[in-house]
Structure 1
Amino acid sequence: MSKMYTERVRNALHGPTMGARWSALFFAPATVDPDPIRAALQAAVDEVDAQMSTWKPDSDLMRLDAAPLGEWTAVPARLGQVLRLGLEIGRASGGAFDIGMGDAVTAWGFGPATAAPDRIRAAMARTRLPAHAALEIDGDRVRKIAPVALDLNGIAKGYGVDRLAETIRDHGIGDGLVGIDGEMRALGLRPDGQAWTIAIEAPDAERRTLRSVVALENAAVATSGDYRHRVEVGRRRLSHTMDPNRGAPLAASPASVTVLARTCAEADAWATALMVLGPDEGAALARTRGLDALFLLRSKGGDCRAVGVGDVFAPLPEASSPDAKRQAWPARAEHMTGLLE
Structure 2
Amino acid sequence: MKLLMMTWLLFLLLMSQAWAHINIEQITGNTMGTSYTVQLRLQDSLVTKQQVKALVEQELERVNSTLSVYREDSEISVFNLNDADSPIPVSERLWDVLQISKSVSAQTYGALDVTLGPVIEFWGFGVKPRDLQHKDRGQLELARSKTGMDGFTLDSGSVTKVIRGLNINPSAVAKGYGVDRVAKVLDGAGVLNYLVEIGGEVRTRGVGVRGREWRVAVTRPQRFSLEIQQLITLKGMSMATSGSYVNFIQSDDRQLSHIIDPVTGMPVESNLVSATVLHRQCAVADGYATAMMILNVEQSIQIANELGLAVMLIEQTDMRLKTHFSDAIYPFLVKLD
Above 0.5 in TM-score?
A: yes
Give aligned-pair identity as a percent.
25
The Cα of 1:68 is off from its aligned counterpart by: 1.1
CA distance in structure 1 between the partners assigned to 2:316 and 2:212 by the alignment:
33
- Counterpart contact for 1:69–1:145, Cα < 8 Å: no
Match of 1:29 among 35, 43, 50: 43
The Cα of 1:203 is off from its aligned counterpart by: 0.6
Size of the aligned set, in residue pairs, is: 312
CA distance in structure 2 between the partners assigned to 1:241 and 1:35 by the alignment:
38
* Uncovered stretches (5+) of structure 1, i.e. residues with no partner: 1-6, 315-328, 333-341
State the one-letter code of the partner of 1:111. G
State the one-letter code of the partner of 1:14. T
Task: Show CA shifts across 1:258-308 (max 9, x none).
Answer: 00111100100000111111201111111112111111000113x210011
The Cα of 1:93 is off from its aligned counterpart by: 1.2
Alignment-derived partner of residue 42 in structure 1: 57
Match of 2:283 among 259, 262, 265: 265
- Counterpart contact for 1:255–1:296, Cα < 8 Å: yes
Alignment-derived partner of residue 259 in structure 2: 241
Task: Show CA shifts across 1:193-252 (max 9, x none).
Answer: 321010101111143332111111210000010112223345533221110011121022
TM-score, normalised by the number of residues in structure 2: 0.86
CA distance in structure 2 between the partners assigned to 1:248 and 1:201 by the alignment:
27
State the one-letter code of the partner of 1:36. Q
TM-score, normalised by the number of residues in structure 1: 0.85
Asked whether 1:136 is paired with 2:140, we answer no
State the one-letter code of the partner of 2:162. I
Aligned with 1:87: secondary structure? helix
Matches within 5 A, 1:1-341: 9-29=23-43, 32-117=47-132, 118=134, 121=137, 122-124=139-141, 128=145, 131-147=148-164, 148-190=166-208, 192-301=210-319, 303-313=320-330, 330-331=334-335
CA distance in structure 2 between the partners assigned to 1:195 and 1:119 by the alignment:
50
Radius of gyration: which is bigger? 1
State the one-letter code of the partner of 2:258. H
CA distance in structure 2 between the partners assigned to 1:246 and 1:124 by the alignment:
9
* Uncovered stretches (5+) of structure 2, i.e. residues with no partner: 1-20
Task: Show CA shifts across 1:14-47 (max 9, x none).
Answer: 1110110011001113974211110111111111
The Cα of 1:253 is off from its aligned counterpart by: 4.4
Aligned with 1:195: secondary structure? coil
Deviates more, 1:80-89 or 1:187-196: 187-196
- Counterpart contact for 1:115–1:233, Cα < 8 Å: no
